Homo-oligomer: A and B are copies of this chain.
Amino acid sequence: MTAPEVCFEDLPAGRRIALGSVVVDRDEMLAFNRRFDPQPFHVDEEAARESLFGGLCASGWFTASLWMRCYVDGLLTRAASLGSPGGDEISWPAPVFPGDRLDAAMEVLAARVSASRPHLGLVTLLGTLTRDDGTPVYRGRFTGMFGRRDGAPAAAPGDPASP
C-alpha cells in the first residue's frame, strides 16, 4: 500500500479545494427520500407543489450525502482520512431540485495537531454545495481527522471519536 498523497500537513487553514460537481438524479433522489425522509414535500408531487418549496425537493440528508461523495472522490481517496467526530454547522439555505447541477467545494478553516493524540491532525472544514446559478444550497462545518506525514502509529481502536 502506498502512502497517502494528502496528509494533515497538506491541509493548512485557508486551503480551498474544488470537489467536482454532481447533477441531482430525480429517481435516486426520490428513492432516498422515500426510504429516509418521506415527508409529503419530498415524496408527493402534488403536496410538494403546494408546499413552501413549490416542488419535489431533496431531503437535506440526500444533499449532504451528495456532498460527502464529492468529498471522497475529490480528496479522501488520496488522503490519510481517519473519519470525523462531527461538526457544528449543517445548513440547507435553499431547496435542491431534480436536475440541479451542484458544485462541491471545501475550505480548511483551521488545523491543529491533537493534544491528546499527537499522531492525529484535526482539520476544521467547511463543505459547500452551490447550484450552477450561484445559489448556495448546502453548508457543513465539521472536524476531519487526518494522519500526519511523519507516519506516527495509527490511533488505538475503540476511541475514534474523542480527539
Interface positions of A (Cβ within 8 A of B): 32, 35-39, 41, 51-54, 59-61, 64-66, 68-69, 72, 76-77, 81-95, 139-140, 142, 154-162
Contact = CB atoms under 8 A, between A and B. Distances in A.
Contact of A92 (B32, B36, B41, B161): B161
B90 A37 contact: no
Nearest to A86: B91
Q: How many copies does the complex hold?
A: 2
B88 A92 contact: no
Contacts of A140: 90
Contact of A53 (B36, B64, B83): B83
B161 A72 contact: no
A68 B61 contact: yes
A68 B161 contact: no
A69 to B, nearest CB: 5
Contact of A38 (B72, B88, B156): B72
B88 A161 contact: no
Given A37-B65, A39-B72, A54 B157 contact: yes
A5 B92 CA distance: 26
Contacts of A95: 160-161
A68 B59 contact: yes
B61 A65 contact: yes
Contacts of A158: 54
